[in-house]
């Protein structure tokens, strides 16, 4: 019996999607900020980036960048 997650999109606002695979559990901590806790070993698979192998549980959040015009941090876009 396989007790791993087969694919959870941890970047719903992304045009390409970022999918967690092979994790024990993925918990959505904050829908608006797209913050997820990934339990156990996992892989983050995307179309526009490399596959990242996580050897332990981790926290995934969206990338933030500094906008010098607004002088604020903003969510990065694909």
What are the mean pLDDT values of the chain's consecutive 10-residue runs (78 residues total)? Answer: 73 84 93 91 89 95 89 81
Kind of pairing between the strands at 25-30 and 35-39: antiparallel
Structural domain of residue 33, as residue ranges?
Answer: 8-75
In this structure, is residue 2 part of a structural domain?
A: no
Domain-embedded: residue 28: yes
pLDDT of residue 7: 85
Specify if 69 maps to a domain.
yes
pLDDT at 63: 82
What is the reported pLDDT for 1? 45
pTM for this model (two decimals): 0.78
Q: What's the order of all strands across the beta sheet hosting 42-46?
A: 8-9, 18-21, 42-46, 52-54
User: Could you tell me the two tokens for 21?
Assistant: 């695979």
Domain count for the chain:
1
Q: Provide the pLDDT for residue 4.
A: 66
């Amino acid at each position: 019996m396989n007790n791993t997650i087969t694919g959870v999109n941890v970047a719903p606002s992304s045009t390409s999607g970022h999918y967690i695979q092979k994790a024990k559990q993925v918990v959505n901590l904050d829908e608006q900020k797209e913050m997820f806790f990934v339990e156990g070993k996992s892989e983050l698979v995307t179309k526009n980036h490399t596959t990242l192998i996580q050897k332990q549980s981790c926290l995934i959040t969206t990338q933030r960048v500094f906008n010098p015009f607004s002088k604020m941090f903003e969510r990065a876009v694909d």
